[in-house]
């Protein structure tokens, strides 16, 4: 499933802070269930790397190499 297209950002709750400010991100993520954390991780992966059905599996290739016998 393409999570990026199904998610929307709530721009009303967006706050911009300085990086040196204390954050409650750690408390928020610790309060989430493991499933919710994995779903957020998958969403971030798809945002960064995209979602292609053709690359969902590992590519398998076979190479035949002639060995020189001594």
The string of DSSP letters for 37-59 reads HHHHHHHHHHHHH---GGGSS--
Q: Locate 42 and state its tokens.
A: 């998958």
More confident of the two residues 58 and 41 = 41
Q: In the block, which residue shows the tokens 């967006």?
A: 14
Q: Could you give the number of structural domains in the chain?
A: 1
| Residues spanned by the domain of 48 | 3-55
Residue 53 has pLDDT above 70, yes or no: no
Question: Does the predicted model carry a pTM greater than 0.85?
Answer: no
Model confidence over 15-40: pLDDT tens digits? 788 888 888 888 999 999 999 999 99
Q: What percent of the chain has pLDDT over 70?
A: 81
Note whether residue 60 is domain-resident.
no
What CA–CA distance (Å, rounded) separates 5 from 10? 14
Query: For the chain, how many residues are written?
Result: 70
Whether 65 maps to a domain, the answer reads: no
pLDDT of residue 19: 84
């Amino acid at each position: 499933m393409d999570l990026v297209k199904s998610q929307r950002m709530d721009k009303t709750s967006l706050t911009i802070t300085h990086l040196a400010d204390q954050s409650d991100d750690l408390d928020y993520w610790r309060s989430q269930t493991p499933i919710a954390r994995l779903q957020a991780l998958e969403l971030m992966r798809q945002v960064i790397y995209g979602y292609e059905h053709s690359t969902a599996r590992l590519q398998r290739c076979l190479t035949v190499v002639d060995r020189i016998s001594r």
